[in-house]
Chain A
């Protein structure tokens, strides 16, 4: 099972809000994945198949190896659905 890590600055606010939306969308799409949330600093030492969050935050994680999913609007479920579909189709 793939692991998706939702990342925000402090790991307390937006990452949790997004985690909930990720879970509900994955359910709709019938995709199974492990979803967790954390802060930017912790995320750097955590292994995940996908790192998802607002562009400003997760671009700090881009190192050419990590799969980073950047979101423009964290509250936009349509943007999130499109991003998840594009990355996790077939899982």
Chain B
């Protein structure tokens, strides 16, 4: 369930990031600390954007950096980083990112339920407003819990 992955320890707020690489590194920190991913996975996520372009920006302002399980995932995980100031993934307007959700899939299947719930959550404009306006983690946790069934 989504709330098992996005919780107190995996939600972060930051004012800004120097560039998109820094943003991905910061966003991935909780998963690295919990040893759910290895440093190689972080490098793979960055390389993936370098090779394929800013495709991880799935909607204006929202990026879901990820790489393949074999790049260095120990355990399925997600971590959320909200920035106050957008960081550019390209010069395009829609690639100015304020919300990053790092996705660590351990295989092709186990993350799908949570990903489906995340997808539902991100499809609603008002939920995004809640995330962008949140002043504490609790507000995001409440939202995530609502979508975890």
Contacts and interface: CB of A to CB of B under 8 A. Distances in A.
A40 B55 CA distance: 11
Contacts of B116: 16-17, 20
Given A16-B112, A75-B62, A9 B56 contact: yes
B58 A17 contact: yes
Main SS of chain A's interface residues? mixed
Given A10-B68, A16-B112, A72 B105 contact: no
Contacts of B54: 56
B59 A8 contact: no
Nearest to A57: B55
A74 B122 CA distance: 10
Interface in B120-145: 122-123
Nearest to B122: A75
Contact of B115 (A9, A13, A57): A13
Contacts, number: 64
Interface residues of B, number: 27
Contact of B59 (A13, A40, A56, A73): A73
Interface residues of A, number: 20
B6 interface: no
A8 B31 CA distance: 23
A36 to B, nearest CB: 12
A56 B68 CA distance: 19
Contact of B67 (A10, A57, A76): A10
Nearest to A60: B52
Q: Which 7 A-B pairs have the closest CB atoms?
A: A75-B59, A17-B119, A74-B58, A56-B53, A9-B52, A56-B55, A73-B59
Given A56-B55, A75-B59, A75-B122, 14 more contacts: A9-B56, A10-B66, A12-B66, A12-B68, A12-B108, A13-B56, A14-B55, A14-B56, A40-B52, A57-B52, A57-B53, A73-B58, A73-B59, A75-B62
17 contacts: A8-B55, A12-B103, A12-B108, A13-B56, A14-B55, A14-B56, A14-B58, A16-B112, A56-B53, A56-B54, A57-B53, A73-B59, A73-B94, A74-B58, A75-B59, A75-B62, A76-B59
